[in-house]
Amino acid sequence: MKLRDLILTAMFAALTAIGAFLHFQFLFATITLQFFFTAMAGVLLGRKYGAASQAVYVLLGLVGLPIFANGGGFSYVLQPTFGFLLGLIPAAWVIGKLSEKKQDFWHLLLACLAGLGVLYLVGMPYIAVILNAYMGKGLSASKLLMMAMIPYLPGDCLKIVVTALLGTRLCPLLRRELAKTAKREA
């Protein structure tokens, strides 16, 4: 692992933390920018460092830094939305893996959609377990979908489109800079 990789990994962990506090109202949901920075990490850093950046973010929040939307600390694992935080790690990995070879708009868009699917595959069962088994709410699957997924999909789709647009511009720039750095180091 090179110093550059460590710096970029730390930078995207920090950006994801900032994204927890950058939120806006979009239709019926309050949207944060965590997934946007997760997707950008996957696209720009690849599967290994993209996922590592999100793991650093989650671990820092679990040890007590108040970098999650509602604070931090190990007790956050009992928050219904913690599964979505956990889901950021495999989401970044999937996005990075699927965007390794081709970084045109459509490939990046599909990679981010797959990453979003992974995020919901981790987050939705977690929220169901915490709300229903731990908190005893007894919510149906349709109620959970209407509460924790459907209102967020338009904002998530907007983040995906922006990521794909930015990624198509930034990936070639990053590759050129990395090539220049490798040439200087050789």
pLDDT digits (tens, 9 = 90+) for 156-179: 999 999 999 999 999 888 878 877
Per-residue HEC secondary structure of the chain comes to: CCHHHHHHHHHHHHHHHHHCCCEEEECCEEEECHHHHHHHHHHHHHHHHHHHHHHHHHHHHHCCCCCECCECCHHHHHCCCHHHHHHHHHHHHHHHHHCCCCCCHHHHHHHHHHHHHHHHHHHHHHHHHHHHHHCCCCCCHHHHHHHHCHHHHHHHHHHHHHHHHHHHHHHHHHHHHHHHHHHHHC
> 88, 82 in Cβ contact below 8 A?
no
Number of domains forming the structure of the chain? 1
Residue type, 124: M
Residues of the chain with pLDDT under 70: 1, 186
Rg (CA), the chain: 17
pLDDT at 186: 67
pLDDT at 38: 98
pLDDT at 130: 96
Domain that holds residue 151: 3-185
Domain containing 87 — which CATH number?
A: 1.10.1760.20
Q: Indicate the pTM of the whole model.
A: 0.93
pLDDT at 50: 97
